[in-house]
Structure 1
């Protein structure tokens, strides 16, 4: 239970730090961000508050997704109807939080009054953004057991493509859900990436069964897989038995910005569904249980640092808890009580024997 609490809260902390009321999330230079952080007294000198350090839409969407997952649903279709309801209700409230445009567009295309097809949205050529990935860690927390893998795959894809109906987008939600489940299973972090790639065939099979947009999906499917395979080879951990990742000799803020841009599809690290989880994963591999190093890599870089920070913070919480976290970072965090309540409910739902 304590790790669930840590995950939900630190996801918000990572988001608020990387976002910095849109200032750092729109800054192209990690060097500049770390310089400004030093002037604030470093992580120990920061007290996150609603006014100066609000969370972004990433945490708000993670909250409402978790609320749907702990609701009293009796089938997965019923769960999707609940997700449609909470997404439609929240869309107007997140506009002021520098929202991923695909999130807004997707939410407005949902049909809460359509019982059978309410969560079906059109294929979106621009739906490859990070927003599906940042709301789905709770899916992996709800369906973390290996025997619940089918549920994890289906729910993460459906929740992802409600707002990001593009493989690069909704495979990002599958990725972060899987990583959360691997963290709870205590699977070694170095294995996560290659284990995730093994599940992509199951994701494709599920999409074929739903008979929606497969022609468009096939044109765009392999980008996500190819980028991740390339990343794992770059780190030297693409094959079984390769369990020692290799990093650039001088992996400082300037070098990280350069590397993250190379992984991206448009020169903005973390903007898409493939590289937001990738940067968070890379930060976990590099930092281990060192919270400061994790923040330097995942929250304080040029690019979509709120998105990568929210994913990295949540996964760190599942792995290591709150022991090394300065109190100023979470005691006044926006929505902290809501996040803690949802953590308890997710833990209870995840470990109940009955239900879908």
Structure 2
């Protein structure tokens, strides 16, 4: 991909009250909490949300997919993307040639098989993650992701579509903890979304998260620095315009409401979802407030809630997640395990070489 830099970042060792593991756990669990809060209202207009949940909208987990605190395809695909990154670490550390997007692709194809939608490519259904029963549940998977993965003829193949839906953005948070987050996330996004506005926005989101965790930048600073680094790339014009607008709103003290969020869009496409999630995170005094704002609008509530949750969870850590959410969150133990495994990987992992953790081979086998 010509527009993506193929260099690896080294990050700055974190210091402060939150450890790197605290931030990883907070990021992944915060995103899942936003996903779960938004799941019951994903396809509802704001008037319907208000009629069902009251004038302030939804604030607590409500029934969705047969349970409370149930996650959607967003968190499922996030976990499989994380698995792909960890498998790439194992493969690269064993001194095998490693093309990271191809290894992520293989993991996403495992997810595709859990959705009872086998594609053209056969992949081994091994490792621990695919054995988790809840990940086989069908949670309104995005049509673009399904069709692009089913059509893949070789690992690492870019999607043959022109979609910039938010399905490329919502799954890439784990890329923030590996090598060059922008490169890994953008190339991962390009597996399913062919429009630069889709896959480059995924890269921008992961880069913002990485700046927050590795350089301990504030959210506002991370956004600004990420736009300086990548915002001029062809394809990012629309997302830069929306994020600049959100930064202006924040500087003027404008708060996101269901009506003002609607002016940005519904969040169904990449730039809208990221802008909504960023605005709600920037203006929130705590994680709960930001996620509640991010899901209460007539659009893609679970994805915008997930994005805000990733940002705020990384900023504040897992303790910021309300206990009433944390205790009911589906797959909480699976996400905790994935966060712990990610923390074991050197932060400057670039897809090859490096120290090798033999214990991780059992969970993330070579393919």
TM-score tier, shorter chain, comes to 0.7 to 0.9
Counterpart Cα distance in 1 of 2:166 and 2:42: 13
Within the candidate set 252, 260, 263, 2:257 is matched to: 252
Moved more, 300-309 or 82-91: 82-91
Q: Is the 8 A contact 2:59 2:292 kept in 1?
A: no
Relative distance call for 1:87 and 1:46 in structure 2 (3 A) is: closer
1:172: how far off? 2.0
Counterpart Cα distance in 2 of 1:256 and 1:325: 23
Relative distance call for 1:319 and 1:121 in structure 2 (3 A) is: same
1:35: how far off? 5.2
1:323: how far off? 2.8
Relative distance call for 1:134 and 1:251 in structure 2 (3 A) is: closer
- Identify the residue that residue 87 of structure 1 maps to in structure 2: 108
List per-residue Cα deviations over 1:29-48 (Å, max 9, x = no partner).
1x542553449996468699
1:186 to 2:213 alignment:
no
- Whichever structure has more helix as a proportion of its residues is 1
Q: Is the 8 A contact 1:256 1:297 kept in 2?
A: no
Counterpart Cα distance in 2 of 1:49 and 1:322: 25
When normalised by structure 2's length, the TM-score is 0.74
1:135 to 2:171 alignment:
yes
Counterpart Cα distance in 1 of 2:264 and 2:241: 15
User: Residues 200-211 of structure 1 correspond to what in structure 2 (within 5 A)?
Assistant: 200=230, 204=233
Number of equivalent positions: 305
1:50: how far off? 6.6
1:271 to 2:268 alignment:
yes
User: Residues 87-106 of structure 1 correspond to what in structure 2 (within 5 A)?
Assistant: 87-94=108-115, 96-106=138-148
Gaps of 5+ in 1: 144-150, 205-220, 238-243, 262-268
Relative distance call for 1:340 and 1:119 in structure 2 (3 A) is: same
1:334: how far off? 1.7
- Identify the residue that residue 108 of structure 1 maps to in structure 2: 150
List per-residue Cα deviations over 1:303-331 (Å, max 9, x = no partner).
00111111111111110013343222122
Q: Is the 8 A contact 1:128 1:168 kept in 2?
A: yes
- Identify the residue that residue 175 of structure 1 maps to in structure 2: 204
Relative distance call for 1:44 and 1:105 in structure 2 (3 A) is: closer
1:14 to 2:51 alignment:
no
- Identify the residue that residue 59 of structure 1 maps to in structure 2: 75
Counterpart Cα distance in 2 of 1:352 and 1:123: 31
Q: Is the 8 A contact 2:161 2:194 kept in 1?
A: yes
1:107: how far off? 1.0
Within the candidate set 66, 70, 84, 2:86 is matched to: 70
1:9: how far off? 1.2
List per-residue Cα deviations over 1:63-112 (Å, max 9, x = no partner).
0000111121217844333212211121143473222211112211223x
Relative distance call for 1:68 and 1:230 in structure 2 (3 A) is: closer
Relative distance call for 1:39 and 1:305 in structure 2 (3 A) is: same
Relative distance call for 1:348 and 1:15 in structure 2 (3 A) is: same
The 3-state SS of whatever aligns with 2:297 is coil
- Identify the residue that residue 343 of structure 2 maps to in structure 1: 347
Moved more, 184-193 or 338-347: 184-193
Gaps of 5+ in 2: 1-20, 117-137, 353-367
